[in-house]
Amino acid sequence: MMRPNITILYGSETGTAQDIAEQIWKRSKRYGLKSTVDAMDDYDIGRLENDNVILAVVSTAGQGDMPMNMKNFWRFLLRKSLPNNLLSHLKYSVLGLGDSSFEKFNFAAKKLNKRLGQLGATEIVPIGLADDQHDLGIDAVFGTWLDGVFNEIAQRYGIPKENIITENEIIQKFNINILENEKILTDPKKDIYLYEAQTNELLIPSQVIKNIRTTTPDHFQDVRLIKFKVPEINYSPGDVLYIKAKNSDEQVDKFFKVLKNNGVDIDQDVVLRIEEKEIKVPLVLQQKLSLKQIAQQYWDLNVKPKRSVLHTLSMISDNELEKEKLLEFTTAEGQEELYNYINRPRRNIIEVLNDFPHTTAKLNLKLLFEIMTPIKPRAYSIASSLKHTKNELHLLVAVTTYKTKLVEPRFGLCSTWLATLKPEDEVVFWTVKGTFKFDYTKPMIIVGPGTGISPFRSLLLDKAAVDGDLSSCLLFFGCRNEKHDYHCKEDFEILVEKHKLKLFCAFSRDQPDKMYVQHIIKQQKQLCWDFLQKDGNIYLAGSCKNMPNAVREEFVNVAKDCGGMNDEEAENYIRNLEKSWKYQVETW
C-alpha cells in the first residue's frame, strides 16, 4: 500500500501550536513518512484535492475565535459552494490547545473538526482536547493523541514496526553553520525582531517613552504603566498587544555557566547561519546572529521543559542513573513524578540541565536547537486611546513573582523584562483585534479590578475624547489599598470630575472585612438594574480565577432583587445577555 504524505497544519496566536506541530513532524519522520509543516494560512489550498492525511493543531483565540494565522483557511472551508464530498479522500485528526477555565474551551478545534467531517473527511482518531489547566498541561493529552494517530496510520497503511526509526536517533530541524572569523558588529542587545519587521508589516517597532510604577514602593506587587512612542499606529479600545520578551543578563550568564561547568565547549560569541534542513527557518533566524543573541532573545530560558525535551536528553545520555530517570519521566507511569519535579516547583530548563550534569555534557550546538524552546509572545490589553494620546500605546503590567519549594523565587519572563525597560529602549510588537465589542451608544456597566482596568482605561479615555460625556458609564474598580495600588487614579478622577463618569471602588484591605467588586455591585444593585433596563451592556476583565463567577452571580442576584425574577428566570436573563454579546468577559 502506498504510504501517505502527512500534512501538518497549525493555527495559534502564540507559537505553541507550531512547537507541537514540529513534534508531530518528528514522529512522522520516525515512521519514514514524508511530511510538511505549515501555518494554516500559508498552506496552499489547492493541495486539498491531493493531500490524503492532515493533522491539525489549533489553539482558540479570544472567546472561541479562530487564531489569526488560520482565518483565511477557515473562511475557505466555510464556503457554502463546497460539496459535501469535497474531502472524502482525506484522513484527518485535530488536536486542540485550550484552557478549561474559559467557557468556550477549545471551540476553534471543535469547529474545525466538525467542518472537516461535514466535507466528507474521515477522522483517524477522535479529536484531542488538551487543557492548560491540567497538572501536566498539554502533555497530558498530546502524548496519547499522538500515539493513537500514528498507531492507526501504521495499521492502515501497513507500516511494519521494523521500519520505524529507533527512538535513540535524534532528528534535526535545521542545519547550523558557524561563520568563522565573523563578529556581530551591532549592539548585541538590539532587538533581533527589527530584522523581521523590515519585511513583516504586522510587526511594529517602537521606543519606550516612560516606565512608571503605579504601586507604592512598599507594596508587595510591582505594577507598571509603560508608554511607547509608535508613529502612525492604528488600534482601537479592546485591542491586544503581543510582544516577545528578552531573558535577563543574569539568566543568560547562568545558562552559559551551566554549559561551561559541565564541559560543553561552546563560544557564546560565535556567529551562526541557520538554514533549512527539514523545516522552514523562522524569519528572525534567517539573519546572522551570535549564539548569545539567540540565548537572550529567541530561546526561553525560563521555560518549564516539556516531556519531549526530557526524552531528547534521555537519548543522548550515557550515564545510567540520569538516563534511567529521564526515561522514567517520559513514561505514563512516571507522570506524577514528572509533575512533582517540573510543574509543581516550576523548574526551568537551566535548572534541569544543572540537575543532569553528565547528560548536559553531551550537548553541542546542534542539539541545543533541538531542546531549547522559542520565547512565546505574551498578550496584554492595550490601556490607551489614540484619540487621547496620539502616536502612543500604553500597557498596564503586573510584574509576576512567586515562591515555590525551590530556593530562588519564580518570575514571569515578559513582565519582569518589561519592568526593566528604560526610555528610548527599542521594542517590536504587534497588535490584534480584541474580543470586546464596545457600543458607545448604549449605557455601560464596566467591571475591571486590578490590571483588568487596562482595556477600560482605553475605552473611557477614548469615549471621553469622542463625546466628552461618560454619564452613561458605570465603572467598578477593585484593588487592595487605595493608597498603595489604585492604578491610574489621576486618570479616573479626571474622568469623574470633567466627564461625569460614575465610579465605585472596592479597596479590599482598607477595612476589617474584605470588600470586592461584587460587594460594591450589590450595594449599587438598583443603579445597575436601571442601566440594564436602559439596554445597557456589561463588560468585565481580569483574572480568570474566582472574580468572574462571583461578579456574574451578583448580576443574577440583581435580576432577582430588582427585577423580581425567580432563580431560573434570573439565570436565563443573564445567559441571554451573554448570548447576545451584552455581557462580555475577557479573562486571563
CA distance 474 to 466: 17
Measure the CA angle with vertex 309, ends 129 and 415; round to 5°. Answer: 75
Is residue 93 helix, strand or coil? Answer: strand
Beta bridge partners of 541: 586
Nearest to 430 by CA among 205, 204, 238, 198: 204
Binding-site residue set for FAD = 346, 378-381, 412-415, 588
* Structure-block grid coordinates of residue 112: 474545525
**How far is C-alpha 562 from the chain's CA centre?**
40
**How far is C-alpha 488 from the chain's CA centre?**
26
Is residue 417 helix, strand or coil? Answer: helix
From the number of C-beta atoms within 10 Å of its C-beta (0-12, 13-18, 19+), residue 81 rates as exposed
Measured on CA atoms in the order 580, 583, 586, 588, is the torsion positive or negative?
negative
* Residue 270 CA neighbour count, 13 Å, CB half: 15
CA distance 391 to 385: 9
Reported as type and span, the H/E element at residue 359 is helix 357-360
Alpha-carbon Rg for the chain in angstroms: 26
Contact 31, 153 (CB under 8 A): yes
Binding-site residue set for FMN = 12-17, 59-62, 132
* AA identity, residue 573: Y
Binding-site residue set = 12-17, 59-62, 132, 346, 378-381, 412-415, 451, 508-509, 514-518, 588
CA distance 468 to 195: 42
CA distance 83 to 119: 7
Nearest to 385 by CA among 494, 237, 209, 207: 237
* AA identity, residue 373: T
Measure the CA angle with vertex 487, ends 535 and 442; round to 5°. Answer: 10
Name the pairing type of β-strands 537-542 and 122-123.
unpaired
SS3 content of the chain, % helix, strand, coil (to 5): 40, 20, 40
What is the rounded (10 degree) CA torsion for 562, 568, 569, 573? Answer: 90
CA distance 135 to 23: 21
* AA identity, residue 459: L
Binding-site residue set for NADP(+) = 451, 508-509, 514-518
